[in-house]
Amino acid sequence: MLIFLFLMFMQFSLLAVGGANAIVPELHRVVVSELHWMSGQEFAALFALAQAAPGPNVLVVSLVGWKVAGVPGAIVSLIGICLPSSLLSFWVARWWQQARGSRLTTAINSGLAPLTVGLIGAGVAMMAASHPLSLTGGALLACCALLSWRTRLNPLWLLAAGAAAGLGGLV
Amino acid sequence: MDTLIIPDKKALFGGFFLIGLSGFGGVLPQAQHQLVQRRQWLSDAEFTELLALGQILPGPNIVNMAVAIGSRFHGARGALLAVAGLLLAPLALILLLATLYQHYQQAPWLQQLLAGLAPAGIGLLLGMVLKLAARLPRHWRPWALAGLTFAAVAVVQLPLWLVLLALAPLAVGLAWRFPQAGH
């Protein structure tokens, strides 16, 4: 089982173009419909947990591994999904450092910047659409956005404010 | 631009440890705060550059960034340290949380807490997009590309690899053809 998890997530690693959240629909299909490891409801709960917990969103993968093979499953899954893409990044970053300032890297750099803005912006829109927001929730979102844009406040303070508002029943 | 700081190995591990531990609802806003504003390992422009690279390469973006940043300062060992720092604590925590969650998933306070964290987390990410967007050159071309990417992913909901396959070569090609437009 551990080897199976490892190999499966190694494949997912190179499919995750644009970030870990890109593989979630495909992961859902394989884990729920094909392998019947868990129900769709359970999958959604694990995903929400990975989103809410501290740390990168890729951790959802370790929860899938944990569900079927305990802690070793979690570790093996996480290594599986990180290894191939990390090796690739390592070599590309190395080349990038050497070629820095050339016309090609400058073009890649200034060309990709708008795509980054569009991609993360799209992520924001999709997350906002999947969380039905109350009026106060929307106001909280706008305040956090404005403060993190305009100030150098540590993001943790804003999250703490959000948590407090939630616990106070305001959202 | 201020002079940047080169972290030693311990600081590298520690910095990414903090980023991983404090990145609720995604790590990017915290990564930018720590790497650029607080620790000054990277300039704003370098952060955007590495972020773009991390996104275009397959795999989890922030792990790719950790590899790139770690290896820039301390080679393969730096990359390993940065990734380990980033993932260790959150992994332990999320397994703990998953166990707890199985017991308390119906508790109202947990639902309320999550309801408050979600909009704050989304707001932070939006704030980061605004910061990045403010750095784009005042020219119609990058803004059109950003809008097109946004529409393709969020509105039309095309698969990401398709969008990148179509738009990344176009964007890089345009920047190659018109290098002055970006500056």
Q: Where are the domains of chain A?
A: 1-99
Closest alpha carbon to A113 in B55, B153, B59: B55
pLDDT in the model for residue B25: 59
* Token pair recorded at residue A164: 């407090």
Inter-chain residue contact A120 with B174, CB threshold 8 Å? no
Percent of chain B residues topping a pLDDT of 70: 95
pLDDT tens-digit series, residues A4-51 = 999 999 988 987 776 777 777 778 888 988 899 988 878 877 877 787
pLDDT grade, residue A146 (50/70/90)? Answer: very high
pLDDT tens-digit series, residues B116-170 = 887 888 888 898 889 889 888 888 999 999 999 999 988 888 877 788 889 989 9
Which of B33, B86, B117 has the most A C-beta neighbours within 10 Å, making it the best mutation to test the interface with A?
A: B117
Phi, psi of B24 (to 5 degrees): -70, 140
**Cβ B124 vs Cβ A145: under 8 Å:** yes
DSSP, collapsed to helix, strand or coil, labels residue B60 as coil
**Cβ B6 vs Cβ B12: under 8 Å:** no
Neighbours of A135 (CB within 10 A): 8
Distance CA A135, CA B179 (A): 44
Inter-chain residue contact B117 with A146, CB threshold 8 Å? no
Inter-chain residue contact B115 with A81, CB threshold 8 Å? no
Which of B16, B35, B160, B174 has the most A C-beta neighbours within 10 Å, making it the best mutation to test the interface with A?
A: B160
Distance CA B3, CA B42 (A): 9
Closest chain B residue by Cα to residue A114: B146
Q: Is pLDDT of A61 > 50?
A: yes
Per CB-CB distance under 8 Å, the chain A contacts of B62 are: 56, 58
Query: B90 and chain A: CB distance < 8 Å anywhere?
Result: yes
Q: Is pLDDT of B181 > 60?
A: no
Closest chain B residue by Cα to residue A113: B52
Q: Which residue in the set B21, B60, B95 is minimally distant from A20, CB to CB?
A: B60
Q: How many residues does chain B have?
A: 183
DSSP class of residue A23 equals G
Chain mean pLDDT for chain A: 86
Per CB-CB distance under 8 Å, the chain A contacts of B112 are: 166-167, 169, 171
pLDDT tens-digit series, residues B31-66 = 998 999 899 999 988 898 888 888 778 888 899 999
Q: Which residue in the set B49, B55, B131 is minimally distant from A119, CB to CB?
A: B55
Per CB-CB distance under 8 Å, the chain B contacts of A18 are: 55, 61, 160-161, 163-164
Distance CA A80, CA A5 (A): 8
Neighbours of A105 (CB within 10 A): 17
Could you tell me the pTM of the whole model? 0.80
ipTM of this predicted structure: 0.80
Compute the count of residue pairs across chains A and B with CB atoms less than 8 Å apart. Answer: 368
Percent of chain A residues topping a pLDDT of 70: 98
Max Cα-Cα span within chain A: 55
Distance CA B18, CA B167 (A): 34
Closest alpha carbon to A113 in B51, B1, B131: B51
DSSP, collapsed to helix, strand or coil, labels residue A72 as helix
Query: B100 and chain A: CB distance < 8 Å anywhere?
Result: no
Inter-chain residue contact B119 with A162, CB threshold 8 Å? yes
Inter-chain residue contact A155 with B136, CB threshold 8 Å? no
Closest alpha carbon to A93 in B71, B83, B172, B13: B71
